[in-house]
Structure 1
Amino acid sequence: MSHPRATLCAIAAAALLSACQTAPVQPTAPSTSAEEVGEFRKGSGYLNGYLDRKALPDSLALVPPPPPPGSARQAADLEMHQQTRNLRNTPRWEQAAKDVNLKFPEAAGVFSCALDMPISHEATPHLNMLLRRTLIDAGLATYKAKDHYKRQRPFAQLGESTCAPKEEAQLTKDGSYPSGHAALGWAWGLILAGAAPDKADALLQRAHAFGDSRMVCGVHWQSDLEAGRVVGAAAVARLQADPVFQAQAQLAKAEIAAARAKGLKSDRSDCAAEAAALKR
């Protein structure tokens, strides 16, 4: 699989360089056009979110400090990390490597098995756009705390390798707490559960596993994931007041209903393998 050349940490750093950014675009009606929405950073492939950056949740105010060295919570983090090392070179490790990728169109398929229908620009353009834009909203919301605490990641602290070797050089420069992947994964799960409440349990289980993949991979501590999910939920709460998000969420819900009426099922051939891998 291909790993993203620009992770959330690289995107957040680029946000400080105005010359490299396109101006945020907020269309008056939900759009499925990447060109109309605009890229967060030119050439990155990541689209502008729905929220103005000033409206993002304050992660530094929302989550407590990471566990201090020598604390019981830090010891629990280390114990959980050591347990996940047993998953190296297993199907769960391979799934964690797949969950690294935040690039679309591949990332659109993360919840396809749980939702039991295709998710793509072609099949469900509004649902696809909902995921693409909220990735930035939830992921960027973690950076106020990340940049403040600058917590070292497990693999860097312990001198280990990860399931995503191409990410390691960048991740050593990026704070571990809270987890951006866990934040956006949990946000995606909550948003999709609202659009398809009958699949809420499966969708939230997949969202939780998506965050856990970062611990399995060796790039996050368990407490990073827990804090990330708090920030992701806060981002979803903020999005409830955004009219463009709300309108696009309703259109996505209609797409789900239409796909079901047509009897469409997930177009992924590995749903059974994914389900087995996630039962670690």
Structure 2
Amino acid sequence: MRRMLISGLLLLPSGLTGFAQTPPAIAQPAASPEWVSFLGPFPAVESDEGKADLAILLWHQRTRTPADIQRAASEVKLTLEAYATASGRSLNPTQFPKTAALIDKVGKDTKAVTDSLKKHFQRPRPYLTDGRVQPAIERETSPSYPSGHATRGVIFGIILGELAPERREALLVAGRQVGVDRVIGGVHYPSDIEAGQRLAFRLAAAWLADPQNRAAVDAVRVAEWSQPAKP
């Protein structure tokens, strides 16, 4: 049974260890059999899990607040600002240009994987399947599974946690919230989020295993994160 997101944050491992096998390298074809097998199929519409998926989405639709919608809308274009409070820093790209460039690279590498997996699975967005679903944020035409925002939300939190280990858990919470907000906004099923968040931990392990990527993270930490955050 898949873990379902209801009103809180989907709890996932906070570390990058404990995988039974070495994660596939990101350099492999994005929709490689390893990545496809790791995620597995999404719930069928008429299955119990599929019905629960929709019920949870509709529950969020009924209970979302203006503040929830505003936050979800602000994350449609996901930037460092979503992590400012959790990091204890402003994270303005003009003040953290190397961090912004690093996150941009992580985002592009991650999107290459999620876009190809979306193309493989071809799950329609919930509002294309059920007319009761009324998104509160920008609709998208790309397939729904896995959620790219949920994947990037968590992997950005992981990478930022490498820069500020003392803020790691708060950054992961902020990253998970990005996925939750895609359900609140009505553009994803909970199972899209669960898949994307699981994928993020797997991708982060592969990305950080690359010596060049690890060296880039270390260089950014020294250049822009050596001073403690302001209280």
Q: TM-score normalised to the size of structure 2?
A: 0.80
Whether 1:186 and 2:162 are equivalent positions in the alignment is: no
RMSD: 2.1
Q: Structure 1 residue aligned with 2:101, among 98, 121, 129? A: 129
Whether 1:164 and 2:164 are equivalent positions in the alignment is: no
Could you tell me which residue of structure 2 aligns to residue 154 of structure 1? 126
CA contact (8 A) 1:57 1:238 kept: no
Query: Structure 1: which 5+ runs fail to align?
Result: 1-50, 266-280
Q: Structure 1 residue aligned with 2:84, among 91, 99, 112? A: 112
The Cα of 1:163 is off from its aligned counterpart by 2.5
Q: Structure 1 residue aligned with 2:52, among 70, 76, 80? A: 76
Q: Structure 1 residue aligned with 2:180, among 212, 230, 245? A: 212
- Aligned residue pairs total 204
1:106-155 CA distances to partner (integer Å, 9 max, x unpaired)?
x1211111101122333222211111111111122123331122111112
Q: Distance in 1 between matches of 2:104 and 2:63?
A: 30
CA contact (8 A) 2:153 2:175 kept: yes
In structure 2, relative to structure 1, the CA distance for the partners of 1:197 and 1:142 (3 Å cut) is same
CA contact (8 A) 2:26 2:113 kept: no
The Cα of 1:184 is off from its aligned counterpart by 0.7
Could you tell me which residue of structure 2 aligns to residue 28 of structure 1? none
| Corresponding letter in the other structure for 1:211 | G
Could you tell me which residue of structure 2 aligns to residue 96 of structure 1? 72
Q: Distance in 2 between matches of 1:97 and 1:86?
A: 17
CA contact (8 A) 1:183 1:228 kept: yes
| Corresponding letter in the other structure for 1:84 | H
| Corresponding letter in the other structure for 1:162 | P
CA contact (8 A) 2:31 2:120 kept: no
Q: Distance in 2 between matches of 1:163 and 1:232?
A: 25
Q: Distance in 2 between matches of 1:93 and 1:75?
A: 24
Q: Distance in 1 between matches of 2:119 and 2:150?
A: 17
In structure 2, relative to structure 1, the CA distance for the partners of 1:247 and 1:77 (3 Å cut) is same
Which portions of structure 1, spanning 4 or more consecutive aligned residues, are displaced by more than 6 angstroms? none
Q: Distance in 2 between matches of 1:93 and 1:242?
A: 37
Query: Structure 2: which 5+ runs fail to align?
Result: 1-24
Q: TM-score normalised to the size of structure 1?
A: 0.67
